[in-house]
């Protein structure tokens, strides 16, 4: 493959080979369009966001990649467990309001993202790894991307449309000055992978464990078990609070884990298997999600918070919605990106936003820990949201989640 792509052309250029980019490429190739993906890193590569939601399984099935995901034997996930001091509760996704898959997986993203990218490649998508994008130029009939490869040799690519799936890299928002501040406080996440050595019967490997700090409910932990005896673990809180736990991120993460009595009970003998990493101020937003020749997918557009694992589901949904509109545009039809892409996507993003805000403000924590009765339709609607079905407008919690959670919390 030549290092210089002055004459490279594809119907659609995609920035980023992560889940939203790979899924979009698969959908486009299924429809017969040429696709070229520019990915700045090499795969496989480490990433967080390892706990999937059942809603996302519908998009993997549509892309034709679901059998390959099943074959990888990732950790099965059927719900979520919550711990706050001596209080424990759990939800089972099978008890949801919305029809659709009730199970999914906890995945090592290096392997999972490679499966999605390789699947897109098997369908005919071209993937250029170690290619950064440094310029975006619009013309009368299309768009040009420019950048450099791993050898610092410049390239350019021409297409009819660009999908930005660059995630936290947020390539087009930065190049086109689309970024705007998030409404959320600046929070910090510190995280790693561990050999968990968990054998305690109280721990269910088929559920992500969300733990609330006993003395500060604005600090929470995730523990995502994998099928090989390791887990992803992380702590999230406002930056000043997390930094106050110690001098280094490794000491902070270790100290915060040891402060929790439940962790001491279920995994007294854990060890880190990779360096501790951190992210600060990860919540983000943009002025708009589309332009004449581009659309933003997943985290390139907006990222809320990792607490309910919504990121990958939003990424998959955005790829699905965008490609549906783009296929009509490429066929010469008149489309309205705002009505057909942005507004439908934001129904779910705003629904998740309400749940995130309610979590940090307290009502949702109370609702989860002191759940309505199992037969309650309200509980089923809440579980559907936590399973990722944030676009089901028959569910009252999609449009009025924060308001209704306040009412439910007051009734408990």
**Mean predicted confidence (pLDDT) in 177-189:** 82
The mean-pLDDT minimum among 156-160, 181-185, 226-230 falls in 181-185
Position 1 pLDDT exceeds 60: no
Query: Are the C-beta atoms of 114 and 42 separated by less than 8 Å?
Result: no
In angstroms, the CA 394 to CA 2 distance is 52
- Label residue 292 exposed, middle or buried (CB < 10 Å: 0-12, 13-18, 19+): exposed
Task: Looking at 123-229, list the stretches that DSSP marks H as alpha helix, in order from N- to C-terminal side.
Answer: 171-175
Q: How far is CA 258 from CA 218, 266, 267, in A?
A: 17, 11, 10
pLDDT digits (tens, 9 = 90+) for 305-359: 888 889 999 999 999 999 999 999 999 999 999 999 999 999 999 999 999 999 9
E strands, 73-153, in order: 75-77, 79-84, 87-92, 104-106, 126-129, 132-138, 143-148
What does the chain come to in residues? 412
Q: What is the mean pLDDT of the chain?
A: 93
Position 195 pLDDT exceeds 80: yes
List, as one string, the DSSP characters of 146-159: EEE-TT--EEEEEE
Which helix (H) or strand (E) element contains residue 344? helix 343-361
For helices 109-122 and 19-30, what crossing angle results, to 10°? 20
What pLDDT is stored for residue 254 in this prediction?
94
**Mean predicted confidence (pLDDT) in 120-141:** 95
In angstroms, the CA 100 to CA 232 distance is 27
Q: How far is CA 155 from CA 1, 13, 18, 94, 196, in A?
A: 12, 13, 21, 49, 45
Dihedral sign, CA of 253, 311, 93, 193? Answer: negative
What pLDDT is stored for residue 90 in this prediction?
95
What pLDDT is stored for residue 186 in this prediction?
79
Which helix (H) or strand (E) element contains residue 222? strand 220-225
In angstroms, the CA 26 to CA 64 distance is 8
In angstroms, the CA 222 to CA 252 distance is 15
pTM: 0.95
Q: Residue 317 — φ and ψ, nearest 5°?
A: -65, -40
State percent of the chain over pLDDT 90. Answer: 83
Q: How far is CA 225 from CA 68, 228, 260, 266, 364, in A?
A: 20, 8, 18, 13, 24
Q: How many CB atoms lie within 10 A of CB 128?
A: 20
Nearest to 143 by CA among 155, 159, 156: 159
What pLDDT is stored for residue 371 in this prediction?
86
Give 302's pLDDT tier (boundaries 50, 70, 90): low
């Amino acid at each position: 493959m030549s290092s210089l792509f002055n004459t490279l052309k594809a119907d659609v250029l995609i920035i980023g080979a992560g889940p939203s980019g790979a899924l979009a490429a698969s959908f486009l190739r299924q429809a017969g369009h040429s696709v070229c993906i520019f990915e700045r890193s090499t795969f496989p590569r480490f990433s967080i966001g390892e706990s999937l939601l059942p809603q996302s399984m519908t998009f993997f099935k549509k892309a034709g990649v679901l059998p390959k995901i099943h074959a990888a034997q990732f950790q099965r996930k059927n719900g979520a467990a919550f711990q706050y001091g001596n209080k424990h509760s759990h939800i089972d996704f099978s008890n949801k309001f919305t029809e659709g898959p009730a199970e999914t997986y906890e995945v090592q993203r290096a392997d999972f993202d490679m499966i999605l990218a390789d699947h897109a490649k098997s369908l005919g998508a071209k993937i250029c790894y170690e290619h950064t994008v440094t310029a975006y130029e619009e013309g009368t009939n299309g768009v040009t991307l420019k950048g450099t490869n791993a050898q610092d040799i410049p390239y350019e690519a021409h297409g009819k449309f660009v999908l930005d799936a660059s995630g936290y890299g947020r390539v087009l928002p930065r190049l086109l000055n689309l970024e705007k501040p998030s409404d959320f406080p600046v929070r910090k996440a510190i995280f790693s992978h561990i050999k968990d050595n968990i054998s305690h019967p109280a721990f269910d490997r088929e559920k992500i464990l969300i733990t609330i700090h006993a003395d500060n409910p604005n600090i929470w932990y995730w523990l995502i078990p994998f099928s090989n005896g390791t887990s992803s673990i992380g702590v999230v809180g406002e930056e000043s609070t997390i930094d106050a736990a110690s001098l280094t991120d490794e000491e902070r993460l270790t100290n915060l884990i040891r402060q929790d009595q439940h962790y001491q009970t279920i995994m007294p003998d854990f060890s880190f298997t990779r360096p501790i990493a951190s992210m600060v101020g990860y919540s983000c937003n943009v002025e708009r999600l589309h332009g004449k020749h581009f659309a933003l997918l997943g985290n390139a557009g907006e990222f809320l918070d990792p607490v309910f694992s919504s990121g990958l589901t939003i990424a998959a949904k955005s790829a699905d919605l965008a490609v549906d509109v783009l296929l009509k545009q490429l066929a010469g039809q008149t489309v309205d990106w705002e009505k057909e892409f942005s507004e439908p996507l934001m129904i779910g993003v705003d629904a998740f936003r309400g749940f995130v805000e309610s979590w940090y403000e307290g009502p949702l924590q109370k609702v989860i820990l002191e759940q309505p009765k199992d037969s309650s339709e309200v509980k089923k609607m809440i579980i559907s949201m936590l399973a990722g079905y944030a676009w089901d407008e028959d569910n009252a919690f999609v449009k009025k989640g924060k308001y209704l959670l306040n009412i439910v919390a007051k009734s408990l």
